[in-house]
Amino acid sequence: MTRHSLMDDILAPGGLSILFQPIFEIVNGDPVLFALEALARGPRGSNVECANVLFEYVRRKGKETEVDRVCIARAVAAAASVPGAPAISINVHASTLERDPHFAAFLSDICNRNGVPVSRLILEIVEQQKFWDERAFFGALAELRGLGVRIALDDIGIGYSSHRLLIEVRPDLFKIDRYFITGSAENEYSRAAIESIVLLATRLGGRVVAEGIEEVRDYETVTALGIDLVQGYYFARPSFPASFGAAPINHESSSATH
């Protein structure tokens, strides 16, 4: 008899659920929906329901590729029901791009089956796992860009992020980790780090997303530093797909859910 495992629960139909959190673009001082980030949650009631615990477990088990595929399939299927066809941002491990030679074909097939144009997708590369096969990694990036997929680097400033990686990947979106955003209104060193990332992104032809905004002062600080893409509880909490449309959302009303 095959022993049932927690990983079996994660990979089973319905084992993972998808929430979406908006990324807003500030246009003339108002937040307008730019994209929805798909956030996976583990089996409800399990000790891996929380995303951080879930993906730490997945990495320890070496199952990033299998779980990334399931997460992406769920996210694209959920995106098909979202009104207004906003961009959909989905996390993927760098190691998945390195190890899965058929990833771009898989992504294209999943989008076709769900009626979601692949050009709507933004892939956020998480940096907790360092890639080793540069040829495979950058080959996968080239394939994805050939499909019209935009590339984001997540958690800029921590983990394996480096100027070399940023220059070689040249992401469309630089997502600054919340470590630098939280309390940046009072922390001149955080502001200096943010300014340096904004300058580098601009020189490389990318845009910066400020993650983890929870306070109005931090929102005002990052926008004053030239960032016009923002995300965090100050604007909206993660929610189920049916909650979102393409209409502008006023942060003063949405922040009340924090």
CB atoms within 10 A of CB 174: 26
Q: What is the pLDDT of residue 20?
A: 96
The domain limits of the chain are 16-253
3 state DSSP class of 186 = coil
Extract the runs of DSSP E, i.e. beta strands, from the chain.
17-27, 30-41, 87-93, 121-126, 150-156, 173-176, 207-210, 229-230
Q: What value does the mean pLDDT take over residues 105-131? A: 89
- Quote the CATH superfamily of domain 16-253: EAL domain (3.20.20.450)
User: Does 61 score more than 70 pLDDT?
Assistant: yes
Q: From the DSSP assignment, how many helices (H) and strands (E) are in the chain?
A: 11, 8
| Strand pairing category for 150-156 and 173-176 | parallel
Question: Over the stretch 171-187, which tens digit does the pLDDT of each residue have?
Answer: 999 999 999 999 999 99
Distance of alpha carbon 178 from alpha carbon 162, whole angstroms: 17
For 78-84, what is the mean pLDDT?
Answer: 90
Mean pLDDT of 22-43: 96
* pLDDT level of residue 254 (50, 70, 90 thresholds): very low
Pairing state between β 150-156 and 207-210: unpaired
Mean pLDDT score of the chain: 89
